[in-house]
Amino acid sequence: STGKIPATNEQTNVSNIFAIGDVLESRQELTPVAIKAGELLSARLFGGATKQMDYNQVPTTVFTPLEYGCVGLSEEEAIAKYGEENLEVYISYYKPLEWCTNHEEHNGIQVREDSACYAKLITYLPDNERVIGLHVLGPNAGEVTQGFAVAIKCGATKEDFDTTVGIHPTTAEEFTTLKVTKRSGVDARKKGC
């Protein structure tokens, strides 16, 4: 046992006791998750609402010098849930334009590689290539992930991403231009900005 409280929709095994946040078994230990779960629980208990917390599509970011952000399933989770044959995984290794114009060299030495950042979309083929996972490693990953989280929660497809005009030059734009799939074996590294 982890010492955490098992609960279904924040309901413990005692009818009048509920739990939210870090104390819950198998839930994300993130303050915004606890806040949203608490808001929804309060609305159900005191406002007649029925909306449940969706723990499956919680966007999150690791704020390291090169940020990592994700929403939805990891590739491994997607394979386990849907089978590899039902997925298409789009990838790109890239260098943001801001790195080309801002401090690219220091004493004549390039400090950032051409393919230091990474973008990945995981799509579910049988459902019109609905996007079920987004992963980004690069500057402003938290902002990028938060922006796309709404679209993914609303059921965005790869075609929705492809037909969206990207804002140039942003790192989020990379997701509107993804063409290379992992299964193709094509080199997904881009040169330059």
Residues taking part in catalysis: 168
Instruction: Tell me if 69 sits within 8 A of 145, measured CB to CB.
Output: yes
How does 117-149 read in b/e, with b if 16+ C-beta sit within 10 Å? bbbbbbbbeeeebbbbbbbbbbbbbbbbbebbb
Strands 68-72 and 60-62: antiparallel
- Whole-angstrom CA distances from 32 to 53, 108, 172 are 12, 44, 23
Instruction: Tell me if 193 sits within 8 A of 96, measured CB to CB.
Output: yes
